[in-house]
Amino acid sequence: MEKSAKIYVAGHRGMVGSAIYRKLQNEGFLQIITRTSAELDLRNQQAVEEFFDTEKPDYVFLAAAKVGGIIANNTYRADFLFENLAIQNNVIHQSYKTGVKKLMFLGSSCIYPKLAPKPLKEDYLLTGLLEETNEPYAIAKIAGIKMCDAYRAQYGCNFISVMPTNLYGYNDNYHPQNSHVLPALIRRFDEAKKSNANEVLIWGTGTPMREFLFADDLADACYFLMQTYNEPNLINIGTGEDLTIKDLALLIQKVVGFKGNITFDSSKPDGTPRKLMDVSKLHALGWKHQIELEEGLNLAYQDYLNKH
């Protein structure tokens, strides 16, 4: 990407989009195009067409999506399917129509079959049934991957797809009901510390294993791949390392400085036993994460304190 290129970051206020925006700024790009959802409704075909006709970006990072935790995914099934399909259909098609040089579509690890072997390899896509609770979101994301490949095959578009693992970092969502496990635990431990509670109760047994990547590392990987990767099919972005929810809780307890006990409610569901990405394809290209989990948790906790 040339430093003078016009780069559109769709979803620049979210955790992922804002990290990509910061990365581009730090690398000296001068023409980063953004629009808030109030300024541009990406679900609106005509509005997106007018935006692309006016701005004519050279490169596009498609990080905009309707996202949420397990409850939101399962409750608003139609909204998650329709809105995500509309967003990516409009942005990918207009990128083709206006001659965008390269587009990156960001998916999610939930695209993989529920019972796929671990670690999750890229070629496990569409080899089995999806997790029922977030199936509509996953189907939308799979359609986005296939759309990028179809536009590449039919029109020669350089559209690539990346699948990040579980993310955390600056501008994360700490909503009591709708956030993911890591930010939810940061909030819970912080509130317990401030109220002098003697214990924090966590759902499940603490044995499921999860992988976490700091969002600024994801942005670094996206920038790297935008410069070097020009292939069909998807590529995983993660650390290739995971830990139990119990060990994550102990680490967050240490970072927050909560002195009480941790209790696990084994009557509550655990979710998938393990969700680890195979990142050998990415490592072979020469990229590896820089921010280890404890360092990242300290950065995320400071961001939480600053904003809440």
| 14 annotated as ligand-binding | yes
pLDDT band, residue 289 (cuts 50/70/90): very high
**C-alpha–C-alpha distance, residues 301 and 294, integer Å:** 10
**Residue range 258-280: mean pLDDT, rounded:** 92
Q: 289 among the known binding-site residues?
A: no
Is 274 annotated in a binding site? The answer is no
Rounded CA gap, 125 and 233, in Å?
Answer: 10
Which band of pLDDT confidence, cut at 50, 70 and 90, is reported for residue 24? Answer: very high
Give the residue with greater pLDDT, 102 vs 308: 102
Is-contact 181 212, C-beta < 8 A?
Answer: no
List all residues 6 or more positions away from 26 whose beta carbon is below 8 Å from its beta carbon.
none
Please provide the average confidence, as pLDDT, over all residues in the chain: 95
DSSP 223-256: HHHHHH---SSEEEES-S--EEHHHHHHHHHHHH
Report whether 277 contacts 211 (CB < 8 A).
Answer: yes
Is residue 59 within 8 A of residue 103, CB to CB? The reply is yes
Contact assessment for residue 133 and residue 272, using Cβ atoms and an 8 Å cutoff:
no
Q: Which of 1-10, 70-79, 164-173 has the lowest mean pLDDT?
A: 70-79
Provide the residue type at 214 as one letter.
F
Whether the predicted pLDDT of 298 surpasses 80: yes
Query: From CA 279, how far away is CA 229, in angstroms rounded?
Result: 14
- Categorise residue 173: left if φ over 0, alpha if ψ from -120 to 50, beta otherwise: beta
Residue 252 structure tokens: 């967050």
The single-letter code of the amino acid at 232 is P
**Residue 288, SS3?**
coil
Provide the token pair at 62.
């498609």
Residue 176 assigned to a binding site: no
110-132 tens-digit pLDDT = 899 999 999 999 999 999 999 88
**pLDDT score of 301:** 98
**pLDDT recorded at residue 270:** 83
CATH second-level architecture of 6-169+212-240+276-291?
A: 3-Layer(aba) Sandwich (3.40)
User: What are the sequence ranges of the domains in the chain?
Assistant: 6-169+212-240+276-291, 181-208+243-274+299-307
**What confidence tens digit (pLDDT) does each residue in 39-87 have?**
999 999 999 999 999 999 999 999 999 987 777 788 889 999 999 999 9
Residue 73 is predicted with a pLDDT of 80
Per-residue pLDDT of 171-230, as tens digits, reads: 998 987 777 899 999 999 999 999 999 999 998 999 999 999 999 999 999 999 999 999
Fold observed for domain 181-208+243-274+299-307: UDP-galactose 4-epimerase; domain 1 (3.90.25)
Q: Calculate mean pLDDT across residues 159-172.
A: 96
In this chain, the answer to whether the domains covering 6-169+212-240+276-291 and 181-208+243-274+299-307 adopt an identical fold is: no
H or E, element range at 93 = helix 77-97
Query: 167 among the known binding-site residues?
Result: yes
Q: Which residues are catalytic?
A: 137
* Better-predicted residue by pLDDT, 27 or 180: 27
Which pLDDT score, from 0 to 100, does residue 22 have?
Answer: 98
Q: How many CB atoms lie within 10 A of CB 306?
A: 8
User: Which of 86, 235, 218, 60 lies closest to 161, judged by CA?
Assistant: 235
pLDDT of residue 56: 98
Which of the four pLDDT bands, split at 50, 70 and 90, describes residue 271? confident
- Single pTM value for the model: 0.95
